[in-house]
Amino acid sequence: MTIRGSCECRAVTFIVEGPLRPTWACHCTQCRKTSGHYWASTEVPNARLKMIKDDGLKWYRSSEQARRGFCVACGSSLFWQGDGEDTISIGAGTLDDLSSDATKIEKHIFMADKGAYYDVTDGVPQSDGW
Ligand SMILES: [Zn+2]
Ligand SMILES: [Zn+2]
């Protein structure tokens, strides 16, 4: 299974080789700030993400343990990567083909940081940390 993905303006485009991990929705403060809400991502081993165009890709060091990839032209939140990890998280909404439910949200993480302005009532497991 090969899925294409991109940022909103397509200055960053990529191909992901499946299978994709089910999506985790992260409600931590960093995800909230960088995305404007909570951030939902799937994940693959690094080797299965192939960049087609990365003109707009910039990495932001969001903590001592991780960096986030975003598009400098349109601001899309694209990637999250822990230092030294052999996997990369990819914003689920950046994929072009969302017709498969294989990436459906499997859990909500860092619920302890969640804002009070919304509720999570989809019945999917929730945790205060990972
Ligand atoms: Zn862009
Ligand atoms: Zn987060």
| pLDDT tens digits, 40-99 | 999 999 999 999 999 999 999 999 999 999 999 999 999 999 999 999 999 999 999 888
Residue 127 lies in a domain: no
**What token pair was written down for 15?**
């191909």
Query: Residue 36: which domain range?
Result: 2-113
Confidence of residue 104 (pLDDT cuts 50, 70, 90): very high
Residue 125 preceded by cis peptide, ω within 30: no
- H/E stretch holding 8 reads none
Cα dihedral sign, 91-103-86-33: positive
Ligand 1 centroid vs 124 CA: distance in angstroms? 31
Q: How many angstroms does the Cα of residue 128 sit away from the middle of ligand 2? A: 11
Task: Give the domain CATH number at 98.
Answer: 2.170.150.70
Contacts of 8 (CB under 8 A, 6+ apart): 71, 74, 75, 76
Looking from the CA of 72 toward its CB, the CA atoms found within 13 Å total 7
Ligand nearest to the CA of 66: 2
Report the separation in Å between the CA atom of 54 and the middle of ligand 1, taken as the mean of its atom positions: 9
Q: Is residue 121 part of a domain?
A: no
Instruction: Give the position of tokens 């990365």.
Output: 54
- Fill in the DSSP letter of residue 111: G
Distance of CA 115 to the CA centre of its chain: 19
78 CA from centroid of ligand 2 (Å): 13
Q: What is the pLDDT of residue 112?
A: 97
- Compute, in degrees rounded to 10, the torsion defined by CA atoms 126, 68, 115, 103: -40
* Spacing, Cα 60 to ligand 2 middle (Å): 14
In a domain, 118, yes or no: no
Chain Cα centroid distance, residue 13: 14
What confidence score (pLDDT) does residue 130 get? 92
Token pair of 39 as six digits: 């951030």
Residue 123 falls inside a structural domain: no
pTM of the predicted model as reported, rounded to 2 decimal places: 0.95
Q: Is residue 128 part of a domain?
A: no
Question: How many A from CA of 110 to the centre of ligand 2?
Answer: 7
Domains: count for the chain: 1
**How sure is the predictor about 116, in pLDDT bands with cuts at 50, 70 and 90?**
very high
Ligand nearest to the CA of 37: 2
Does any domain span residue 130? Answer: no
Residue 122 lies in a domain: no
27 CA distance to ligand 2 middle (Å): 5
Is residue 79 domain-resident? yes
